[in-house]
Amino acid sequence: MSLFERGAFEKTLTALPAVEIVHQWGDASVGKVGEPGTGKIFAILSSWSTEAPAISFKCSDMSFEMLPTLDGVRPAPYLARAKWVQVQRDGALNEDDIRAYIVQAHGLVAAKLTRAARAKLGL
């Protein structure tokens, strides 16, 4: 099953600690890390401004500069100012690379939670 299919995307995200999946914004699959109901977004599978589903995720400053130079990767609509990129299915990144960036996105966002929240969630 492709990471660009809802089931595989959500399975990948829920394998990470303290993750909740929410369906919002036109039925996008939104991965949040933190307390249920108040988590912070780190990855999204949606069809915003694309014909086929695309994956968006938070990334480091360096990745945000480098990734949009690759085929099939661009600054994420609505989220680029917060250093997010959007990846298309048949772009330069393979699914293992995308999974690794999703894990990194989870870590980046989890690190911004309070120390107490991270301790409570085992992060």
CATH number for the domain harbouring residue 106: 3.90.1150.30
Is 1 inside any structural domain? no
pLDDT at 40 over 90: yes
Residue 60 in any domain: the answer is yes
What total number of domains does the chain contain? Answer: 1
**What angle, 0 to 180 degrees and rounded to 10, lies between the N-to-C axes of helices 95-110 and 6-14?**
40
Is residue 123 domain-resident? no
Question: What's the mean pLDDT in 17-42?
Answer: 93
Res 100: pLDDT? 98
pLDDT given at position 110: 95
pTM, two decimals, is 0.93
Q: Is residue 94 part of a domain?
A: yes
d(CA 96, CA 119): 29
For residue 72, the enclosing domain spans 6-118
pLDDT in tens, 46-75: 987 667 899 999 999 999 999 999 999 999
d(CA 44, CA 59): 13
pLDDT tens column, 8-17: 999 999 999 9
